[in-house]
Chains A and B, each alone.
Chain A
Amino acid sequence: MSNAVSALQGEAHTGFATITEQGLRGMITLRGDLSAAPMKKAVKALTGSGVPQMRGCVLSDSHGVAWMSPDELLILCPYTHAEAAVAELSKALAGQHFLAANMSDARAVFAITGSAARQVVAKLAPVDMAQSAFSEGEIRRTRLAQAPAAFWLRDAEMIEVMCFRSQAEYVFELLKRAAQPGSETGLF
Chain B
Amino acid sequence: MLVLTCPCCGVEADETELAAGGQAHIKRETVGASDDAFEEYMFMRENPKGVHFERWRHANGCGKWFHAARCTMTLEVFGTYTAQTYEPPADIRAAITAKRPGWSWGRFS
Contacts and interface: CB of A to CB of B under 8 A. Distances in A.
Direct contact of A and B (CB under 8 A): yes
Interface size class of chain A, counting residues whose CB lies under 8 Å from the partner chain: 10 to 19
A80 interface: no
**Chain A binding site: helix, strand, loop or mixed by DSSP?**
strand
Contacts of B11: 55, 140
Contacts of B64: 69-70
B17 A69 contact: no
B42 interface: no
Contacts of A142: 17, 60-61
B63 interface: yes
Nearest to B8: A70
Given A54-B10, A126-B14, A126-B17, A69 B62 contact: yes
Given A126-B14, A126-B16, A126-B17, A143 B8 contact: no
Given A126-B14, A126-B16, A143 B9 contact: no
A69 B14 contact: no
B16 A141 contact: no
Interface string A117-147: 0000000001000000000000011110000
B62 A143 contact: no
Given A54-B9, A69-B8, A126-B17, A143 B63 contact: no
A68 B17 contact: no
A148 interface: yes
Nearest to A150: B61
In the A-B complex, the 8 residue pairs with the closest CB atoms: A126-B14, A69-B62, A143-B60, A141-B61, A126-B16, A54-B10, A70-B8, A142-B60
24 contacts: A54-B9, A54-B10, A55-B9, A68-B62, A69-B8, A69-B9, A69-B62, A69-B63, A69-B64, A70-B8, A70-B9, A70-B62, A126-B14, A126-B16, A126-B17, A140-B11, A141-B9, A141-B61, A141-B62, A141-B63, A142-B17, A142-B60, A142-B61, A143-B60
